[in-house]
Amino acid sequence: MNEQGVKQIKNSHIEARYVFIAPPSMDVLEQRLRGRGTEKEESVQKRLAQARNELEYSETPGVHDLIIVNDDLENAYTELEEFVFTKRTQDQGATDEGAAGESVQD
């Protein structure tokens, strides 16, 4: 989701968590884009400009809950997985504990 999407969701009543996947550097991002060989120069330049804007926005305090630097795919995936499932497990634990507490009190 881009910057505008994040702003729209934050202004809505949707409960969400925000993760930004960042490239290690703009140079690495450019190498990756060019290395694919699937985009014309104009498209590469447009994507790099958008990436600069998104990286700048990602530095705004409170915008994202987590920023993951994608310098190693395995590590980036593990970090994302831990963030998603740790929070889900904590939420379920709180829900389960609440339900258990209500059952005991009934």
* CA angle, residues 37, 40, 43, in degrees to nearest 5: 115
Q: Which of 45, 53, 71, 73 is nearest to 6 (CA)?
A: 53
Average pLDDT along the chain: 85
DSSP 33-67: HHHHT-S-HHHHHHHHHHHHHHHHHHTSTTS-SEE
Residue type present at position 87: K
According to the model, what pLDDT value does residue 89 have? 59
Distance separating alpha carbons of residues 91 and 106, to the nearest angstrom: 23
Which tokens hold the place of 5?
């999407």
Note the pLDDT tens digit of each residue in 49-90.
999 999 999 999 999 999 999 999 999 999 999 999 986 656
Lowest-pLDDT range of 12-16, 39-43, 51-55, 95-99: 95-99
Distance separating alpha carbons of residues 3 and 37, to the nearest angstrom: 26
Per-residue confidence at 43, pLDDT binned at 50, 70, 90?
Answer: very high
According to the model, what pLDDT value does residue 94 have? 52
